[in-house]
């Protein structure tokens, strides 16, 4: 059925009413949209406030969890630090032991290098030894060294360290020798004053500074003079350093030993017996001694042949 066939076919609406109704509808729709937007904003605000409240509540409820986690981390770090500290202490102790061993080896190497650098004139064969024991008493001063007759060491051999004369060998065995130090009361060593070449005798008396006795010459000794072995008697080569001259409390001449400048733990035994071993046998046959050999034998004068007797019936008959 068409609109014009209905009951409102004769209804006539003025144009102004139509425009007014249209404007009203538009206003109602606008108001509805505005109210809907404001309601969304309020919902967003309510939602934000709720999120804020729930966030705060969640933060409060999560705080103990965080505290427990932090406490567990702290405890774990503490025990880790304790174990790490213990491990580092053990490592430091091991490294300290290694460092001490290196220092000891370095000192030993330094001593060995110093001992290897010892040279005496004339050259004497030497044997390196280590002091293994010390005998000390009111007067006795001796040491045991770890070389003996199996290494060619003999009684009377001088013993030196890198600074000077230490003593002499007074007893031997295949592997061990006893060294009498120059400070022993029974030690007597012929010496000379390097500056004046004056002879004297170095006598031990049990103290650290042996006496300088029987000095030859007047004003031949002064404080600070170097004292060397003189070689007299043939027991020790000439020129081995011993010490420097000093004045004792009692006014006597004494010698500050060079060997006291370091520990007497490494020494060298000089395989010296007499000066004959220092002479080159070939040098004895060198000129001009070679020209002094036996003179050649002189040739005897020739004798005339014997005269033959005259034959009978010769010219004189």
Lowest-confidence pick of 216-220, 239-243, 293-297: 293-297
pLDDT of residue 269: 92
pLDDT of residue 209: 93
**CA distance linking residue 180 with residue 235, whole number of Å:** 14
pLDDT of residue 81: 81
Do residues 246 and 209 lie in contact, with contact meaning Cβ atoms separated by under 8 Å? yes
Looking at mean pLDDT, say which of 48-57, 80-89, 120-129, 220-229 comes out highest: 220-229
- Helix (H) or strand (E) holding 247, with range, is strand 241-247
Nearest to 231 by CA among 190, 197, 259, 203: 190
Instruction: Please state whether the predicted TM-score (pTM) of the whole model is above 0.75.
Output: no
**CA distance linking residue 167 with residue 155, whole number of Å:** 12
Place of tokens 């007067």: 139
Q: What does DSSP say about strands 188-193 and 158-160: parallel, antiparallel, or unpaired? A: unpaired
pLDDT tens for residues 52-103?
655 555 555 566 666 766 766 777 777 778 788 888 888 787 777 777 766 6
The string of DSSP letters for 78-101 reads: HHHHHHHHHHHHHHHHHHHHHHHH
With a cut of 60, say whether residue 307 has pLDDT above it: no
pLDDT of residue 212: 94
**CA distance linking residue 157 with residue 162, whole number of Å:** 16
Nearest to 176 by CA among 121, 126, 133: 133
Residues contacting residue 39 through CB under 8 Å, at least 6 positions apart: none
pLDDT of residue 253: 94
Read off the pLDDT of each residue in 143-172 and give the average, rounded to a whole number: 92
Comparing 267 with 315, the larger pLDDT belongs to: 267
């Amino acid at each position: 059925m068409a609109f014009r066939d209905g009951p409102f076919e004769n209804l006539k609406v003025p144009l102004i009413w139509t425009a007014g109704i249209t404007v009203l509808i538009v206003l109602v729709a606008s108001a509805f949209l505005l109210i809907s937007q404001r309601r969304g904003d309020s919902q967003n605000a309510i939602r934000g406030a709720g999120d804020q409240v729930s966030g705060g509540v969640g933060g409060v409820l999560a705080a103990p969890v965080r505290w427990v986690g932090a406490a567990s981390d702290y405890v774990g770090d503490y025990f880790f630090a304790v174990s790490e500290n213990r491990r580092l202490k053990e490592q430091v102790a091991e490294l300290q032991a290694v460092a001490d061993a290196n220092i000891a080896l370095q000192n030993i190497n330094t001593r060995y290098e110093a001992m290897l650098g010892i040279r005496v004139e004339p050259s004497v064969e030497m044997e390196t030894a280590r002091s293994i024991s010390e005998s000390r008493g009111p007067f006795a001063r001796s040491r045991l060294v770890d070389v003996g007759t199996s290494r060619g060491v003999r009684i009377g051999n001088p013993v030196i360290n890198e600074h000077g004369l230490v003593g002499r060998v007074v007893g031997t065995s295949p592997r061990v020798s006893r060294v009498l130090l120059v400070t022993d009361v029974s030690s007597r060593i012929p010496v000379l004053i390097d500056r004046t070449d004056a002879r004297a005798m170095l006598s031990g008396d049990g103290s650290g500074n042996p006496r300088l006795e029987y000095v030859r010459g007047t004003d031949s000794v002064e404080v600070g003079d170097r004292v060397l072995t003189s070689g007299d008697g043939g027991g020790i080569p000439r020129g081995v350093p011993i010490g420097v001259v000093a004045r004792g409390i009692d006014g006597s001449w004494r010698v500050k030993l060079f060997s006291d400048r370091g520990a007497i733990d490494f020494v060298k035994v000089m395989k010296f017996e007499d000066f004959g071993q220092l002479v080159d046998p070939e040098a004895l046959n060198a000129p001009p001694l070679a020209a002094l050999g036996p003179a050649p034998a002189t040739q005897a004068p020739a004798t005339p042949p014997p005269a033959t007797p005259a034959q009978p019936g010769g010219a004189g008959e």
